[in-house]
Chains A and B, each alone.
Chain A
Amino acid sequence: MALISTRDLTKRYGPVTALDNLSIEIEPGVIGLVGANGAGKTTLIKILLGLLEPTSGSATVLDHDVRREGSTIRQFVGYMPEHDCLPPDVTATEFVTHMGRISGLPQGAARERTAEVLRHVGLYEERYRQIGGYSTGMKQRVKLAQALVHDPRLLLLDEPTNGLDPAGRDEMLELVRRTGTEFGITVVVASHLLGEIERVCDFLLAIDAGRLLRAAPLATFTGRTGLLSVEVEEGAPDLAARLAAAGLTVRQDGHAVLVRLEDERPYDAVRDAVADLGLALLRVEQGRHRLEDLFRDGVEEEPTATPAPATTTGARP
């Protein structure tokens, strides 16, 4: 049974549709939820937490219905919002302990867990200082700590690297990755930055304008394409013509010629063609999918080939 499952989930704010018949299945792991700002990531997270009522459709988290059993779900889910959410006039220890108690932990357990998660996120002496004096990086750590204090089975992180400098981003991503892989907590990371998602996640959900673009293991997004890219200094048109004459399927792309690879034959043909024409060969490499292509293609193809959520529903292998 999936950890998170939604069926035809729709959320409208007046005339604006934030989620449009979204059907997804999420299995344990570190899951990236990518999409541009306004794609519906935050709305989806808030519905899963029971903070927002869906307009239609249904969703279950840990086999509990979000509409009817929100209270039960929330005991086992940790949430780190995108926005600031910390009072400035208490210490990190006091705040995280309080949040642990609000999650239902007894007093003593809340204190112990607080010390533990604050150490885990890398706050030491600072934990006895008031949060108002913290840097953005430290505040983000406190936000993560309060989401972890009750040892959730599922962690929902909304833009966890928001406002961090590059070093802070690296540290936060490492924390997220360790939380997911070493502690066995399923983590859903929402981000508009593909580069970050790529570094920590093993499964990807891409949404755009409230609809599912694609759901698949990360490898399939970045795997090899069936194209060989041959880059030359000049004379790319000549090379393309020569290769086409040799019976290959080719396309010219600036200084590069893209050759469809079906077997080993094109390699020899390329070598011969480049040598015969006396071209300066810069690079030969097998093309890779890039995450950016996902959105570029998605946007370009949308009018003709709209991805149907029901069929691309992500069942993980």
Chain B
Amino acid sequence: MTGQVTERTTGAGEAASSIYDLGYQHYAGPRLGRRAAFVALYVESLRACFGLGRPGRAKIVPVGLLVLALIPAIIAVAVEALLGGVGGGRIRNPIRYDNYFPSIVQFIVLFVAAQAPELVGRDQRNHVLSLYFSRALQRLDYAAAKLAALVSALLILSLLPQAVIFAGKVLGATDIVAALGDNLALVPAIVGSSVAAAIVMAALALATASLTPRRAYATIAIFALFYLTISVSAVAFEASSGDLHRYVLLLAPTGALEGLTAFLFGEAPARPLSEAAIGGELYALTALVMAGLGIAVLARRYARIEA
């Protein structure tokens, strides 16, 4: 017995030491390169937008905002169900596709203010960039993956509630086929307006956040970018007059996006945009310029950032 035990102990010791010594094996499998690195970073960043793969406290703000953005949609479905039989459909639901963006825009601003600094500031703060840039990934790949992740997160934030409305409208209708046809006709406008808003807001917020590793500064700067411009442009609009004064409303990114959304649905925007009577093409152009500006600042930042 004793001999056996001793032998087993020795055997285990040998096995342990030989495992330890031969522990390192060379990797002979595929190396997928830059594209796979980009996809991996994109997926990780998109998950991080909602606090996935991070401690529980990191999920509170983004998931809470996603829920808040869904509430108007749930109300809209409830209202639809209640109003469906009343007034023969002449009473208009106050929450619709064409004004969904304005009704949740404050949640989107809060979302980018909270998560854009997390996406880009965290790696700068912890000096992780040199590890990324010393791999297959390139500097601009990094910036592009982060931007794509935030754009995707904002699309989830704005399209998921509208999908709920869509489902509610179609499934709650007496004539499902007709309702499906009516609602499908609006899909290009729904997707178009949401994509434009996601790209513009993500690009501007990420560009701002990328300029500092300090989270608090980045959040304040993003708030200023989206909220100050609203007040400033509204005040300037009221205070000024003349042919060009209405265009000051285009200075606010959220204003330009509200105008673009209304234009894509063929509706009139809310005040004060409705008073300015700006052409839809101008809203589109403004959104394009803002997205381009954000992307340019972001790209420039990452082309030069020290790693």
Contacts and interface: CB of A to CB of B under 8 A. Distances in A.
Q: Do A and B come from one complex?
A: yes
Interface of A: 49, 51, 70-71, 74-75, 77, 79, 81, 83-90, 94, 98-99, 101-106, 109, 113, 116, 119-120, 130, 146, 150-151, 179, 182-184
A99 B130 CA distance: 12
Nearest to A178: B24
B122 A87 contact: yes
B23 A101 contact: no
A130 B57 CA distance: 14
Contacts of B265: none
- Candidate in A84, A102, A113 with the most chain B CB atoms within 10 angstroms: A102
B55 A98 contact: no
A150 B137 contact: no
Given A85-B128, A87-B128, A150 B31 contact: yes
B33 A104 contact: yes
B54 A90 contact: yes
B136 A102 contact: yes
18 contacts: A75-B136, A79-B131, A81-B130, A83-B127, A85-B127, A89-B58, A99-B131, A101-B44, A102-B132, A102-B136, A103-B37, A103-B136, A104-B32, A104-B33, A104-B36, A109-B30, A151-B27, A182-B24
Interface of B: 21, 23-27, 29-34, 36-37, 40-41, 44, 53-55, 58, 122-123, 126-128, 130-138, 307
Chain B interface helix/strand/loop/mixed? loop
B27 A71 contact: no
Contacts of B36: 101, 104, 106
Contact of B37 (A51, A70, A101): A101
Contacts of B32: 104-106
A84 B131 CA distance: 11
Contact of A79 (B21, B31, B130): B130
Contacts of B133: 49, 51
Contacts of B128: 85-87
Contacts of B30: 106, 109
Contact of B135 (A74, A84, A89, A113): A74
A94 B53 contact: yes
By Cβ-Cβ distance, the 3 closest A-B pairs, closest first, are A151-B27, A101-B40, A79-B134
B136 A106 contact: no
A183 B24 CA distance: 7
Nearest to B37: A102
Given A87-B128, A90-B54, A104-B37, A120 B24 contact: yes
B118 to A, nearest CB: 10
A102 B307 CA distance: 16
Nearest to B137: A102
A182 to B, nearest CB: 7
A19 B29 CA distance: 37
- Candidate in B123, B131, B133 with the most chain A CB atoms within 10 angstroms: B131
B23 A116 contact: yes
B250 to A, nearest CB: 39
Given A86-B128, A101-B36, A151 B26 contact: yes
- Candidate in A99, A104, A184 with the most chain B CB atoms within 10 angstroms: A104
A74 B55 contact: no
Contacts of A85: 126-128, 130-131
Contacts of A119: 23
B29 A105 contact: yes
B196 to A, nearest CB: 31
A247 to B, nearest CB: 57
Contacts of A183: 24, 26
Contact of B307 (A51, A88, A105, A150): A51
A170 B53 CA distance: 34
Nearest to A45: B134
B122 A99 contact: no
A49 B134 contact: yes
B136 A109 contact: no
Given A89-B55, A105-B29, A120-B23, 17 more contacts: A70-B138, A74-B135, A75-B31, A81-B127, A81-B130, A84-B126, A85-B130, A90-B54, A94-B53, A98-B40, A102-B132, A102-B136, A103-B31, A104-B32, A104-B34, A183-B24, A183-B26
Contacts of A87: 122-123, 126, 128
A88 B54 CA distance: 10
Contacts of B24: 116, 120, 179, 182-183
B184 to A, nearest CB: 37
B138 to A, nearest CB: 6
Nearest to B29: A109
B117 to A, nearest CB: 14
A243 B211 CA distance: 72
Given A102-B135, A182-B24, A51 B130 contact: yes
A116 B25 contact: yes
B136 A71 contact: yes
A241 to B, nearest CB: 59
- Candidate in B27, B123, B138 with the most chain A CB atoms within 10 angstroms: B27
A116 B25 CA distance: 8
